[in-house]
Structure 1
Amino acid sequence: MTLYDLWDRLPREARAELLSRSAGARGRWVPDALPGRWEALRPLVFSAPDYHRFGELAAGVLRCALLACRRRAGTAGELCRALDDHREPRLLDPAQPLSDPALPRLARPDALLAGGRPWFVELNVGPNIYGVPGLDRRAAAFARYWPDGTLVAPPSTLRARAAALARAVPGPAGGRARVLVPTWRAASGIAAKLDGVRALRRYLRPAAQAAAAAGLEVTVADLSEVRGGADGLWVGEERVDVVFNQFLGAVVTDTAALGVLREAVLAGGVRLFVPEASCLLGAKRVLAWMHEDLDRYPPADRELIEGHVPWTAWLGPGQCAARRRWILARAARERTGLVVKPSRGHGGAGFVSGAEVTEREWLDLLTRRSGEETLVLQRRLVPDTARMRFRSLDGACGTARVPFVLSPFLLNGRPAGAHVRHASPDSPAGAPVNTAAGAVSNTVLLLPRP
């Protein structure tokens, strides 16, 4: 499929009115949890049928990724070993089967558009996917600012996530399941970036309200208040059935509370909304496995991978010597057409474009770093750009043509909402488009009919 931003095809007067309303709003016109220096003053626009086809495409890529993992492992513990992942996720159940439908419950695959064709460069699976409900609010604001009502917000990620949470565990006989929406303390992630537990509780309030609207009993408390173990999990006198975990156990600093939660999870006394084993599916090495396995997929899946996942290969400890030599030789030949990044990295850390370094630096980087960690090589894409209007923190407006990343939220394989990241007007050319590197968060509106 192909996907194009339809903004320039919309009526000029209506576009001008939306931009004027966005630029004229006071202060931060959308209350996001983690604002950056710049705001985008208009959304990307797609037809609703194309948006849903794009979501189906993303779900198909995620399904093929899970198949590649299941060819190499039957459980989460086996997948850790296959990925050469020596971390110790504190809430990961090593016996959890990869056939568990909870594993791909929440994902946000990242795609670059090149000539309108979506290419999925990362999968982003796991509990700590942010942007909800800020992006819902942004889409709703853009829809209000559009003068004739012909543009609509995509399905709400917040509501879809709450519905998936309500289906995650059955309630007790004759009653409703109880969800714990916890606050936590951490040295990194959203809890560290927000100003204390009170701010984190405000950030999580929409999740708690949506869970209640979806039919769940809701308890909001700090992780330090949990008690129990193998027989179950309690907060006060209330027994908890499922934990809405928007954190990774690896970053939570309250080790005593994690110990209680881990014991309850491993014994089946409570469920995590998104199992920590989900994060393993997001390793970039999985994209390389998909290309290694091309001949093992049915024709339709092979076409999907070849047409929408750029060529990806891995280098790292424990690799077959012959395969390593072949990958390094190809990397040397095709340096300017490749990028390298760590398999487990995030935030653009460790990203290097072969076109930006010398041949000697490139081979030295690959041989040295791949002896210490798993790297992935990926075909370099020249992404499509969009002409965007921005406003800075001090109220100044500017226009720039910038590349972007388009990421649908997937809840149980169905699209709901979208995260767009634009390079900011002052981003260096060729830098990864990532919020940690200053990219601007945005979303989409839909034309109900093409």
Structure 2
Amino acid sequence: MAADRVAAAFNARALSRGSRFLDLTERLEKHPTLERWPGDYLPRPLFLGRREVRSFAADLQRLAGLLMALPERLFDGDMDRFCAAVHVTGERAALMRRLGATTAPLCGRADVYHDGTSMKVLEFGTGSELGGWDRAGEMCRCLLGDREFAAFADEHGLGYTHHGRYLAGLLRQLGATVAPGRDPVVALLEGPGALAGCHSWRVLQDQMRWLGLDFHIGEVTELSERRGRLCLRGRPIDVVYRGFEADQLAGDPDAVRYAELVFRAHEEGRAVLWTPLESNIFCEKTCMALMSEPAARERFTTRERELIDRVLPWTRVLDAGTFDRDPDLVDECRRRHRSLIVKPNGRYGGYGVVPGWKVAERDWLPLLRAKAVDGCVVQERVVPRPETVLDPVTGAERIWNAVYGFFYTPLGHAGLEARTLPAGESAVIGISGNAGTRSAVVYHHDHEGEAA
């Protein structure tokens, strides 16, 4: 693959006398809009073909549209049935649906593996609270400030899409609906107590301010109303960037009361909420299985079925009744157990994920039965392509694996990020779930003139 050739060229340059390539992460650590990020970085960038990125991003945008259309396609628009099918119930469901029959926007991050031949969606993240917006595009911009790397980038046609610019543009568009003729005041709101020790939102704040937005962060319990305006610590705000989730509000009447200030301001056109909590219904992993299962195929066109088969791995729902209701599926899971991975519904960050190839055969069905009680999906394993990375101290080669985050918005593809882990260390590559995970800069090569 051409991306492998670019990676090999980078590694060869890194080993040449006088090269600074193995010290590039120092630029990231000292960069003004990244310095508050405490995580670690992969010692080299990752590379994907420009045409491949654009083609997959277009597929992803269409697949996200199908995801958001599931209530209509499979449940005749009945949100009660849809929520029950994806295990969103009780107070959690009431909070997510508080704003009524809104249309969740196409905004989020899909986690993707490249298997060496094509890319596959492992999980869909929908909503504004997902990480990565804070640093991915800035990491790309930062490295191009190094003269040696900039020459390498020019030689190989490297480019990228700056996430922050997409996001700032989107927030300005939203703000224009309530604050025409001026830039909006934006407040990113987290749940109660969630900002303690939180670094990523402060990194995002630095980036948004660098891009000219009056951007603040706080918690929902710091809200008030004054003269009809929604205020954060007394400052009137136009756009609420939602960092909180329903789980942070459920069971906390005070938090719900403060969140109501946001919901009412949004309903009455006094402020804009980005994004509604309804978006998170579509994060449930059962949604991917609903697109993948045979029973749903007749609800999709031939082209849509081809898209699903091309981009989404085989995914099936297991619940408490599956073992009695669908013995054929249970038998298929038993036969394929070393090529399947189990993921609990409604969890993120890799929590509760169990790879079948790490489970003894005698323990596999009991494990599935136990996981099915609370609801889970089983998904076909996708083996990520190897990435050869040089140790910055010794120069020794080590194989890493990467999960790519493809960002999508109503404006289209909004860039890439990646998290990486040494091959074989874990089936889950996530910053919150594995301390060895490192962020990686991602460029596409053979770039055609998109501004960096």
Same-fold status (TM-score > 0.5): yes
Give CA deviations for 1:308-350 in whole Å, capped at 9, x if unaligned. Answer: 2110000114669433x23212111211121111121211111
CA spacing shift, 1:54–1:15, aligned 2, 3 Å: farther
Alpha-carbon distance in 2 for matches of 1:56, 1:421:
22
Alpha-carbon distance in 2 for matches of 1:19, 1:421:
25
Structure 1 range deviating more: 247-256 or 293-302? 247-256
Structure 2 partner of 1:399: 397
CA spacing shift, 1:75–1:187, aligned 2, 3 Å: farther
Q: Which residue of 58, 65, 69 maps to 1:56?
A: 58
Structure 1 partner of 2:309: 306
CA spacing shift, 1:3–1:318, aligned 2, 3 Å: farther
Alignment gaps of 5+ in structure 2: none
CA spacing shift, 1:235–1:46, aligned 2, 3 Å: closer
Structure 1 partner of 2:6: 7
Instruction: Note the C-alpha offset of 1:132.
Output: 2.5
Alpha-carbon distance in 2 for matches of 1:12, 1:174:
50
Alpha-carbon distance in 1 for matches of 2:12, 2:323:
61
Answering whether residue 177 of structure 2 is matched by residue 176 of structure 1, we say no
Give CA deviations for 1:121-147 in whole Å, capped at 9, x if unaligned. Answer: 101111211122322221123323314
Letter of the 2:347 counterpart: G
CA spacing shift, 1:160–1:84, aligned 2, 3 Å: same
Contact residue 79 and residue 280 of structure 1 kept, 8 A: no
Q: Which residue of 440, 443, 450 maps to 1:442?
A: 440
Instruction: Note the C-alpha offset of 1:439.
Output: 1.7
Answering whether residue 369 of structure 2 is matched by residue 370 of structure 1, we say no
Aligned residues: 429
Contact residue 15 and residue 395 of structure 2 kept, 8 A: no
Matches within 5 A, 1:13-28: 14-16=13-15, 20-23=20-23, 26=26, 28=29
Letter of the 1:226 counterpart: L
Structure 2 partner of 1:155: 161
Alpha-carbon distance in 2 for matches of 1:356, 1:320:
22
Instruction: Note the C-alpha offset of 1:261.
Output: 2.4
Give RMSD over aligned pairs: 3.4
Q: Which residue of 332, 335, 353 maps to 2:334?
A: 332
Structure 1 partner of 2:87: 84
- Aligned to 2:89, the other structure's residue is in SS state coil
Structure 1 partner of 2:362: 360
Q: Which residue of 201, 217, 224 maps to 1:227?
A: 224
Letter of the 1:114 counterpart: D
CA spacing shift, 1:44–1:351, aligned 2, 3 Å: same
Answering whether residue 97 of structure 2 is matched by residue 93 of structure 1, we say yes
Structure 2 partner of 1:251: 248
Matches within 5 A, 1:35-434: 35-36=38-39, 38-73=40-75, 74=77, 79-86=82-89, 88-89=91-92, 92-94=96-98, 96-97=100-101, 100=103, 103-145=104-146, 146-148=149-151, 149-150=153-154, 151-172=157-178, 175-176=181-182, 178-182=184-188, 184=190, 186-187=192-193, 191-194=195-198, 201=202, 203-210=204-211, 212=213, 223-228=220-225, 233-235=230-232, 239-251=236-248, 255=255, 256-265=257-266, 269-292=270-293, 293-317=296-320, 321-323=324-326, 325-371=327-373, 373-390=374-391, 399-412=397-410, 414-424=412-422, 428-434=424-430
Alpha-carbon distance in 2 for matches of 1:68, 1:330:
25
Instruction: Note the C-alpha offset of 1:221.
Output: 5.9
Alpha-carbon distance in 1 for matches of 2:12, 2:352:
44
Give CA deviations for 1:275-298 in whole Å, capped at 9, x if unaligned. Answer: 111111121111111112223211
Contact residue 138 and residue 164 of structure 2 kept, 8 A: no
Alpha-carbon distance in 2 for matches of 1:337, 1:222:
42
CA spacing shift, 1:410–1:16, aligned 2, 3 Å: farther
Contact residue 78 and residue 94 of structure 1 kept, 8 A: no
Instruction: Note the C-alpha offset of 1:157.
Output: 0.4
Instruction: Note the C-alpha offset of 1:159.
Output: 0.8
CA spacing shift, 1:134–1:87, aligned 2, 3 Å: farther
TM-score relative to the length of structure 1: 0.82
Letter of the 1:418 counterpart: L
Letter of the 2:297 counterpart: L
Instruction: Note the C-alpha offset of 1:202.
Output: 6.0
Matched-pair identity in %: 20
Contact residue 165 and residue 211 of structure 1 kept, 8 A: no
- Aligned to 2:125, the other structure's residue is in SS state coil
Alignment gaps of 5+ in structure 1: none
Higher helix share: 2
